[in-house]
Amino acid sequence: MVVIGGGFGGIQAVAGLRKADVEVTLIDRRNFHLFQPLTYQVATGALSSGDVAYPLRAIFKSAENVRVLLADVTGFDLAGREVQLAPTPGVRSGPATVGYDTLIVAAGSSYSYFGHEDWRQYAYEVKTLESALAVRSKILRAFETAELSADPAEREAEMTFVIVGGGPTGVEMAGQIGELAGDTLRQDFRAIDPRQARVILVDGLDRILQTFPASLSAKATRSLRQLGVTTMTGQMVTGVDAEGVTISAKDGSTQRIASRTVIWAAGVTASGLAAQLGELAGAEVDRAGRLTVEADLTIAGHPEVLVLGDMVRVRDGHGTAVTLPGVAPAAIQEGHYAAKLIRDRLDGRGTKPFHYRNKGNVATIGRGRAVVDLKVVRLSGLPAWVVWLVVHLFYLIGFENRIVVLVRWSFSFFTHGRAARVIDDLRALGPGEGLPPEVPANRDGA
């Protein structure tokens, strides 16, 4: 069998088949599992890249029935039961196809720019490790540029950070930048005062953190305000370019915000593999590119193909397609289910339809600040931050990573420091200045 994607869903499916009587091939374009919920901390210097990434081969080195392939999936032959592959950058060759008897596709999603793909070149993301590192370099370089500039308007534009999207990622990113500017960097410069930086969080809905109760949303807004973050709700971004953003209010009025750093966290679109599968299998695909799958996560007419994670909507017991939260616990539960379904098939047993158990939501705003909705209890402030910390350490892959991250968080909590404040985006160097021409840009452009 073949599993596509080394994210939460994919690795849980493979882990559940370690001892099953199957040969598993795991395919990913990167050689590591990324703990995506913490990429924003890489982007703001709180963690290093190795703290949130763990090699796939290390995860499954003791599983003799698991093989890992570094390759890019380009298409499918459902009739011939083959996955079509292309080498990843830097890999000279590899198999053109891999056959399967059972296929699990968990290729994830990317950010959606709502039909404005030209904005992508100006708005940074923290969806991948590469993009998080690029954001870190961009934020730190903005302060360095402001320090060197003698133009007040240019300084203000460099020290204005606009985050688009009021979900957990946008809130966490805004809080971290506010904390970075107002606390960590406050004594590092001589010509500028980082505390004068503007951090603006924009969302088109009436409040941030829509998946949380209104009371926790209000507390998160107050916490952001204490960190110097301005929240602009009920406002739509109608333009993004190299000089800043244009924002429109519901009354039709517009305003222009000069900013050299715009970070996008406003909605997702499914991996293009979902649309490919939908076209090949004649399955429904929604406007966000999500493929509709049956209650057992299979494609109608193709019980040998399971699709899970951010790529899908799942039919419930009434046949209605339901969009599940695009969070790690949902993908993990689907991965567990996919492995159980395959084991049950091998043993000749039936499997109940998939049922998602929503265990609640957590989001952090800054040091000692968070909101937690566990359905039976709602927390904010330091108690919520402790819960958030425990939850993320529990899901983080690798014992060593857990220890390192815990130490880094403890050090940061007591010293207000961020050890990974390093500008390492070598794209800024010219030819012959340290980066070979064939090395791809350290920016997620897909």
Nearest C-alpha neighbor of 276 from the set 109, 78, 85: 78
In this structure, what token pair is assigned to residue 107? 């290729």
Does 23 participate in catalysis according to the annotation? no
Torsion of CA 381, 382, 383, 388, to 10 degrees: 90
Return the amino acid letter for 123. A
Biggest CA–CA distance in the chain, Å, is: 74
Q: How far apart are CA 273 and CA 3, in angstroms?
A: 13
Radius of gyration of the chain from its Cα atoms, rounded to whole angstroms: 22
Q: Is 226 left (phi over 0), alpha (psi -120 to 50) or beta?
A: alpha
Residue 257 neighbours by CB under 8 Å, 6+ apart: 160, 162, 200, 244, 245, 246, 247
Strands 24-28 and 123-124: unpaired
**H or E element at residue 143:** helix 129-148
Catalytic residue from among 125, 130, 158, 172: 172
Nearest C-alpha neighbor of 356 from the set 369, 383, 337: 337
**What is the total residue count of the chain?**
446
Other beta carbons less than 10 A from residue 63's beta carbon: 16
List the catalytic residues. Answer: 172
